[in-house]
Structure 1
Amino acid sequence: MLQQRLLSRNSLQAELNRAQFRANRVLAVNVLSAPGSGKTALLEQMARLWPMGPLAVIVGDLATERDAQRLQAAGARALQICTGDLCHLDAALVSAAWGELGSDDLRLLMIENVGNLVCPAAFDLGEQLRIAILSVTEGEDKPLKYPALFKGADAVVLNKIDLAKAADFDRQLAIANLAAVAPQARLFETSARLQQGLDGLISWLIDELEH
């Protein structure tokens, strides 16, 4: 019963967030993955390549402002949320952070959720899109083990593809597993370290923003 009340209250705030993002012509994207998937490194490269003003990023972590500092150094307008014991961001935290960022010249807001494959999938933040990141070092079966996160994704980023051979990663099996769980999701294959595959991801986000 308590969980239902929490989710209901969160859903109301999420709808308010979504309306605010639309009113400001901002595309908000919830980025979800396991810890160590390369979320921050990917967003660093996007901040350097994003062509439509500064990239806005809200970063969720249990502790430290390390990731926000990295993103700021890459040119993003980034704000850290330290959640303490909370294993996910919620709509109220995102609303407060968005109020601090300022929205006049922002078009894209990337919300880097807490690294967790379970809790964040249940909480709507008011985003228009969800991106799930799967790194090749995690194995091909993550979509089958954690289907809720991938089922709700509009796109899946297969990251660290430069390490596929070293990790003995079966690309075809991973793609088949993703197709079985999340047939609706666009697939992008990237290496943040080598800046590979980012153009396609950025072009897709621009198209989504314009529409």
Structure 2
Amino acid sequence: MTLSTKKLKRAIAITAISSLGMLSVLAHSAMYEIDPNHTAARFSVDHFGTSTNAGGFYGLTGIIDYQPEDEQGFVGITIPMGSLSTGLKAFDTHLKSADFFDVAKYPTAYFKSTEWQFDDGEVQTVKGDLTLHGQTHPVTLNATQFNCYDSPVLETKVCGGDFETTIDRTQWGITTYTDGGMMKDIKLVIQVEAGLKEDNS
């Protein structure tokens, strides 16, 4: 007896999360698939105390398992580093080089949550591990809003929100120009939405 395509996709997703030690979270799960068209990770950094440089990463993919009734959740997001865009082609090329993100060597980054924190049923923070530039370190994302709604575009239930954090890029081995006055702290603003998968049985 063979699995249907939907059930096979779900089995693969559960297997992937199980390998991350998250199978217990899925006992009564609602699985959502991240919508790349409504998900992005944007950054800004002080440029030698003169101005602020900004850009973003797009086309993010992954899954969210959200259980508000149990105040539990899991999110795994893959970030294609080659999608980096600042609106300036020369600047994009420099940021993708070995001076900064070294996209040729590290084409993807990954965030895997380890804990969701709630207050009176509302998502407050998502703690997890960010793998970037070949290194993994903990990061805490602070929710500025989080909500679920019935999407007329995706024709399914959608959950998502906005998150913010500040990271020290030198923790991930990205140190270029820090000795010349370019700040090491990077502000991240993450926008994420995910649609309920059709078969959550």
TM-score by length of 1: 0.26
Instruction: Kindly name which structure, 1 or 2, has the bigger radius of gyration based on alpha carbons.
Output: 2
Structure holding more strand per residue: 2
